[in-house]
A and B are shown apart, each in its own frame.
Chain A
Amino acid sequence: MSPLKRRPPKNKSLQKPLTHSARQFVRIEGMGLAIECRGLRKTYDGKVEALRGLDLEIREGECFGLLGPNGAGKTTAIEILEGLLTATSGEVRILGRTWQSHPRELREWLGISLQETRLAEKLTVRETIELFASFYRQPRSPVEVLAELELTEKSDAWVGKLSGGQRQRLAVATALVANPRILFLDEPTTGLDPQSRRQLWDIIREFQRAGGTVLLTTHYMDEAERLCDRLAIIDYGQIIAGGSPAELIERLGGQHMVEFAIDGASSHEAKKTTNGKHMQEIWRSLPGVESVHADNGLVCLTVRQPHVTIPALLEAVSQQGARLLHLTTRQASLEDVFVRLTGRHLREES
């Protein structure tokens, strides 16, 4: 198959310059969109609104993350983009094509790992990967993909006998053997131990390094921070914030978090009492504090300069006649962005 046929027409002029810097140039120009969707809505049974108007632009060569708590609409969004669900309304373009006009071509170009697919248990790892390879016109060599995902040793083992991490790697292998241009991963590391997660991250980075585009959903903030060039935070079927991890944290106001607890007026009760309101105002008025919120019995301050805020904080605590039980400072993370935006933690239920 000629490269011309594979290419969305938009990109024709950009075929030659293929270093990463060239790709960055493409990004700056705002061209070479791998995935594009506008006003995506999905209503189930005419009642449940899973998506309420989603707009995304994902560039070729970037790793884009969809972040959000369970039930936020991440899976619905990614399955519509994958052409497995149809949107109630809205428009989707993948590599400049639509699912209606070029379904088969798009299927050849995408590598997909669904959430919770249980592959046939009585086939071996090699048989599974060869089966998936057989679906594509020009797949990658199954042996090579298995080696890349460190599954060579397990080639002859039944899928049913694999560990969780190995199964997840195999699921990604079934996507990679397609030799895809875009990799869709729906919660690829959920339920994995830290080592397996890191292994998967390396695999995803490797794919991206070779020029591939990645769209992944996750509810792990650290994963998004490490892997994604840009991300969109979804809650209740809408994007509530988007940008690079650094931009999002920057937008939080401060880049540092100061968390502390005091006795006397415990911050936990402080939320409810009028006295508590008073206390919150005291913290808010400390120099350099951008915002205040209570979290699990701790008071969290978002600050620009910890070295200015902390002496003032200690002063204020002793003025109240209270005792400091706990004090930590750390860099703000995406988790803080999320808590700030929604008032909830990412992995909290409901």
Chain B
Amino acid sequence: MSAPLRTDEAAKAPGTPSGIVEGASPRKSVIARQNGRWTAYWHLLGARLKEMKREPEVIFWVFLFPLLLAFGLGIAFRSRPASIPNVAIAAGPGADAVLQMAQRAPQSLRAQLVPEAEALDGFRLGRYDLVIIPHGDAGGELEYRYDPARPESVLAKAQADEALQAAAGRKNPFATTERASSEPGARYIDFLIPGLLGMNLMNSGMWGVGFALVDYRQRKLLKRYVATPMRRSDFLLALTSSRLILMVLELGLLLGLGILIFHMRVVGSLLAIVLLGALGAGAFAGLGLLTASRAQKIETVSGLMNLVMMPMWIFSGVFFSYERFPAVLHPLIRALPLTALNDALRATILQGAPLAAQAGHLAVLVAWMAISFLLALSWFRWT
């Protein structure tokens, strides 16, 4: 065979040292190492974690965003003492005496003397919760103008009546004592944090798995990987385990924030919470895999994921209880994976319910995980 145009003809001369291993293999003699069964898995996992760590968007969406959300909503809906009602006293004979009596109890109502027309106007606009119109001189009949549909108006009427009657000399038939008590566990922030946790597990599970896969596919990196002896199962396993590791961090961060800043009380066992988190992360990793099993472009998969996640953002009780939706919908809502996860997280964190008591929620999560993984694996395209 002649190849006159080659410039390295010399290399073909007999006896040229050729760096060939004994035997006919052209492979290099220097074998660096012998890779074990799990070497590839550990390298894939390491590479995935490094990639995530180096992606600033991941840090923001997975860690910072839920924290900001919890912080913002936590402050907006923080528990405040019930506000003191604003009461207008219509000017006229006897009004001064009423004002004096009202001012003896400043902690239960704030009273002001205003002309009657202005008082009624202010009442209509919500500036006053109650208007008191005295009929006749001191000691005469008082008219309370209030709105039974406005809780603060009803409260103002009761408080004003109480204060005025006491000031006029009414004696209580028996003595009472009062003690203020605000239990952590029943506040909005306590409701919110487990919901945010569930939502975050959904977001980062779907995006973390689905987005990464389509990105790899678009770069032809999946194809490059399957052109090696890499086991496909190792690759998917590494992707899923990277999600589980991230899940533990997300969980710790949000719960930590709840405990440190909002003095949330975690009643259930930490192990049960982590197990639930793992199950949730697994179910959403499966859904992410399924969503991304065929999509060739980032745009396609973004649309699909939003389509899958949107109903759960609305129905699954992240920000408010799904009990507000009509009862007909409840069975459907409860079949959504995020609803099951949120319910289970709330029951465990807030009420300390044991996992055994939540078999229904667990079954929903396992079913979603199993079905989506199975479908995804049969549809998945590597090229």
Contacts and interface: CB of A to CB of B under 8 A. Distances in A.
A245 to B, nearest CB: 5
A152 interface: no
A7 B40 contact: no
Given A131-B44, A246-B2, A117 B221 contact: yes
B12 interface: yes
A253 interface: no
Contact of A205 (B8, B25, B40): B8
Given A225-B5, A245-B3, A118 B221 contact: yes
A325 interface: no
Contact of B43 (A3, A20, A104, A130): A130
A197 to B, nearest CB: 14
Contact of A15 (B11, B23, B46): B23
B32 interface: yes
B19 to A, nearest CB: 5
A20 B14 contact: yes
A144 B33 CA distance: 13
Contacts of B24: 3, 7, 11, 14-16, 18
Interface in A115-172: 116-120, 122-123, 127, 130-142, 144, 158
A229 B12 CA distance: 12
Interface stretch (B126-134, B160-168, B222-230): B222-230
Nearest to A222: B5
Contact of B6 (A85, A213, A229): A229
Contacts of B226: 84
A302 B1 CA distance: 25
A226 B2 CA distance: 13
Contact of B20 (A62, A118, A138, A210): A210
Nearest to B23: A3
B234 to A, nearest CB: 9
A144 B7 contact: no
Contacts of A133: 32, 35
A245 B6 CA distance: 10
A246 B47 contact: no
Given A116-B220, A245-B5, A127 B228 contact: no
Interface stretch (B48-56, B84-92, B313-321, B337-345): B48-56
Which of B2, B16, B26 gathers most chain A CB within 10 Å?
B26
Nearest to B222: A117
A242 to B, nearest CB: 13
Contacts of B1: 24, 27-28, 62, 229-230, 244
B34 A209 contact: no
A120 B47 CA distance: 9
A19 B2 CA distance: 17
B149 interface: no
Contacts of B42: 134
A114 B220 contact: yes
Which of A134, A178, A180 gathers most chain B CB within 10 Å?
A134
B30 interface: yes
Interface string B364-381: 000000000000000000
A134 B35 CA distance: 6
Contacts of A211: 18-20, 25-26
A137 B32 CA distance: 10
Nearest to A7: B24
Which of A6, A133, A142, A181 gathers most chain B CB within 10 Å?
A133
A238 interface: no
Given A18-B24, A226-B5, A135 B34 contact: no
B4 interface: yes
B172 interface: no
A300 B329 CA distance: 81
17 contacts: A19-B18, A20-B12, A24-B12, A82-B227, A119-B224, A120-B47, A122-B54, A122-B55, A127-B50, A133-B32, A133-B35, A174-B224, A181-B25, A209-B19, A210-B26, A226-B5, A246-B2
Given A20-B11, A114-B220, A119-B221, 6 more contacts: A61-B26, A84-B383, A107-B229, A112-B228, A120-B47, A227-B6
Ranked 7 nearest A-B pairs via Cβ: A211-B26, A141-B32, A134-B43, A21-B14, A107-B229, A118-B219, A3-B23
